[in-house]
Amino acid sequence: MEGTGVVILGPNGSGKTTLLRLLCGLLMPTEGRIRWELEGETFSPTQARSLVGAVLPDCEPYDELTATENLQLVADFRGIDKRRIGEWLERVQLNHAAHQPVRTFSSGMRWRLKLAMALLHEPLALLLDEPTALLDRQGRQLVDEVIAEQKRRGLVLVATNDERDIAYGEEQIILGDKGIGERHR
């Protein structure tokens, strides 16, 4: 699935977010196993965390810290040069709020910061949960650009119930009442 987009569709409660959390290793499956495969080598979700960036609900930045301080944390955890922080703040249009505490952010600003935190280490796979739900038109444009760039680098998984987001993926996985129902290419 490298160099491609996969859209995970399903109604509320079908397990889209749960699936993304399983892929990140934040949840353990009750049956089966999850493995990431990269050109013949397989990794567990925990091993693959350095390859993955995720924007998920319940995975929030620190409210008491500024946007810059949150990104500095990511840089320290991921072993990244902190000079890239300024580039990413500009990219997600948060450079004007770089030194404001995150608790003052709107929901759209907070989502943009989470996107920057997920992309700072240039992951091979980007997992997005309902990426456009909180964004204005400018924000949707940003998501379009980010996804297009990510597809050139690797894989994008988008979980959504917004039909406008279907275009993000060449492949669709539809979740039903009993798990994965259909797959389309």
Partner 1 sequence: MAKSKSSWATKVSAKGTVEPFHAGWWRQVVAIARKDVLIEWRTRHAVITALAFALVSLTVASLSVGSLRDEPNLSAGILWVILFFASCLSLSRAFTKEEDARTADFLRLTAEPSAVFFGKFLFNLLLLTLVAFVTVPLFLAVMALTVKVIRWLVVAVGMAMAGMAAIGTMVGAMLAKAQSRAPLLGVAAFPLFFPALAAALQATAASFGAAPDAKDALRFLSAYTGAAVLAGLLLFEAVWSTPER
Residues at the site binding partner 1, with contacts judged by CB under 8 A: 2-3, 24-29, 32-33, 38-39, 41, 43-52, 54, 56, 58-65, 69, 72-74, 76-79, 117, 122, 124, 152-154
Task: Quote the least distance from Cβ 164 to partner 1, whole Å.
Answer: 27
Q: Judged by CB, which is closer to partner 1: 57, or 176?
A: 57
For residues 109-133, one letter each, b for 16 or more C-beta atoms within 10 angstroms of the residue's C-beta and e for the rest, the string is bbbbbbbbbbbbbebbbbbbbbbbe
Task: Quote the least distance from Cβ 137 to partner 1, whole Å.
Answer: 28
- Tell which residue, 60, 120, 50, has the closest CA to residue 85: 120
Task: Quote the least distance from Cβ 171 to partner 1, whole Å.
Answer: 18
CA gap 146, 8 in Å, rounded? 18
Residue 164 makes CB contacts below 8 A (sequence gap 6+) with 132
Please give the sequence-ordered ranges of beta strands (E in DSSP) within 29-86, or none if there are none.
Answer: 36-38, 41-43, 52-55
Task: Quote the least distance from Cβ 73 to partner 1, whole Å.
Answer: 6
Q: Judged by CB, which is closer to partner 1: 64, or 177?
A: 64
- Tell which residue, 138, 134, 130, 136, has the closest CA to residue 161: 130
Q: Judged by CB, which is closer to partner 1: 134, or 174?
A: 134
Q: Judged by CB, which is closer to partner 1: 80, or 180?
A: 80
Dihedral of CA 93/95/98/103: which sign?
Answer: negative
Task: Quote the least distance from Cβ 68 to partner 1, whole Å.
Answer: 12
CA gap 4, 171 in Å, rounded? 8
Q: Judged by CB, which is closer to partner 1: 76, or 90?
A: 76
